[in-house]
Structure 1
Amino acid sequence: MIREAAAADCLAVERLYRLLVPANPRIRVLPERIEELRKSGDHFLLVYEQPEAIVGTLQLHLCPDTMFVIKPYALIENVIVDPHVRGQGVGTALMAYADSLCLSRSCTKIMLLSNAERKGAHAFFQQCGYNGHVSKGFKKYLRTR
């Protein structure tokens, strides 16, 4: 079942993020931050919940755009599915859910970034209809306290 994350899901989401970026010791998911996203109306932390655990997550942001009247564009971040359930449709279901949310809000496009080394993830995103050749992504990490 796909649903928006609740504050009580913070440890489950944090566990998945640690699978996504195992070398980052600063990962910490705050329950109050999840609630902020829930209340925003334009930001979504989606989780895929099986009876025993949360096994996948995806973060979706609808961003205002000035180019196409009032239609937003979307940004997907932090897509991760527990390795024990990969290949069972969890990621595909999360991505399809995000697509339907974006269509219902008249988004003009959905963008996502993926670590350059994650070739399996790139193949998955292409299967979901994303084209990795139309743009080049750039990141600049900022030093924060």
Structure 2
Amino acid sequence: MIPVSLEIREARKDDARALSDLFIAFIGRESDIDKMQEKIEIISGLPNYHVVVACKDEHVIGTAMGIVCMDIVGNCNPYMLVENVVVSPIHQGKGIGKMLMKVLENNAAASNCNYIILASSDGREDAHRFYESIGYQGVKRGFIKRMKNQI
């Protein structure tokens, strides 16, 4: 059930503290608020970035980011990379993640993307079931290389 007072909108600079609080459950520590505010301000001016938040009674309870990436293969249409999909634990299972992903999917369609790609860490079975339930297919191979001094 989706809360009646739920709003999905683009993230704003003043959402940084609430986003950092959400990301603690995601990455296990606070984010740099000043850097986050700076990045949100930059991103808000870039048409290929979409950082959306779900707000209940004006409190951020979920977020997702989609980046439209240019491609040089086949028809050369872009694709979307999705990152940082997080819904607060007490609000999970209420359709909020589905709404956030739908907004990103609509942005991908409007940009004529060929596909949407995302990665989810091993062991996040609940997240994997969620993605599958909204039409995403798990793939057997994916690779990531963490850069020195990074998350």
What is the TM-score when the length of structure 2 is the normalising length?
0.88
1:33 and 2:67 aligned: no
The corresponding residue for 1:45 is 51
The corresponding residue for 2:142 is 137
The corresponding residue for 1:10 is 16
| Distance (Å, rounded) in 2 between the aligned partners of 1:36 and 1:44 | 12
| Distance (Å, rounded) in 2 between the aligned partners of 1:46 and 1:52 | 14
What is the aligned-residue identity percentage?
30
1:21 and 2:42 aligned: no
The corresponding residue for 1:113 is 119
Verify the 8 A CA contact 2:50 2:104 in the aligned structure 1. no
What is the TM-score when the length of structure 1 is the normalising length?
0.92
Shift of 1:128: 1.0
Unpaired runs of 5+ residues, structure 1, are: none
The size of the alignment, in residue pairs, is 142
Question: Runs in 1 of length 4+ with deviation above 3 angstroms?
Answer: none
Shift of 1:144: 3.7
| Distance (Å, rounded) in 1 between the aligned partners of 2:90 and 2:104 | 22
What secondary structure, in the 3-state scheme, does the structure 1 residue paired with 2:93 have?
Answer: coil
Unpaired runs of 5+ residues, structure 2, are: 1-6
The corresponding residue for 1:58 is 64
The corresponding residue for 2:4 is none
RMSD after superposition: 1.5
Q: Which amino acid aligns with 2:135?
A: G
In the TM superposition, 1:66-145 aligns within 5 A as: 66-133=72-139, 135-144=140-149
